[in-house]
Amino acid sequence: MTDYLKAQSNDLKQFTLPYYKLKELLRTGWIEKLQIENSESVASHTLLMIVIILFLASKYSFTSEKKLKLIQMALIHDLAESIVGDITPETMSIIKKQKAEDKAFKLILKKLPQSKLRRELSNIWREYNENKSFDSRFVHIIDKMEMLLQADFYQKNRKNVKRSNVAPFKKSVSLFVKNNTDKFDMKMNSEITSTENMKLNEIKEILAYLCK
């Protein structure tokens, strides 16, 4: 029994270790561009994404299964950063960043004891990065939305943060919306239903409004 409990405890420690690292990993953008003290961590960012998902899941009456899937996707979307760190667009190309994160994510999966969990998380990771399904596009939008809400919080609650300081973050999200217009076009996305497309468009409009 003692050996069993020891094994279970070790498995739990192995699974949660990357998340403990994310609790201590601060989001690079806030530090480099706003010189924020006690800035948001990657884990904090993930937590607030889940909060937003829960809010919107209630608004759109998502099923429990879909809600769980979205939360799982949010929980792993930055998990590779526990190894590679929070890489900003200015320091590495998107292609190189994706390769580095894919390699890191595979290393994390290899250390997980449960094959079923490894397969499940691997599939969700792949779906998120392919960015073709409703769930993946939803979570990508929430990722940007949380950043805008955090920027708004800093602007209103940190004395040294002005509107001009957070403008670059809003501009980057505006470009995201502009450059991904096709991803919200139902005719170009056979994997997304008309109802899902309407929801994506509404969330995109909220995102665009937050950029103002």
pLDDT digits (tens, 9 = 90+) for 49-91: 999 999 999 999 999 999 999 999 999 999 999 999 999 888 8
**What is the residue whose two structure tokens read 């190894």?**
83
pLDDT digits (tens, 9 = 90+) for 23-57: 999 999 999 999 988 899 999 999 999 999 999 99
Q: What is the reported pLDDT for 189? A: 59
pTM as predicted: 0.92
Q: Characterize 25-64 residue by residue with b for buried, 16 or more Cβ atoms within 10 angstroms of its Cβ, and e for exposed.
A: bbbbbbeeebebeebbbbbbbbbbbbebbeebbeebebee
Compute the average pLDDT of residues 148-162.
95
Indicate the SS3 state at residue 130. helix
Q: What is the reported pLDDT for 45? A: 98
Q: How far apart are CA 192 and CA 130, in angstroms?
A: 14
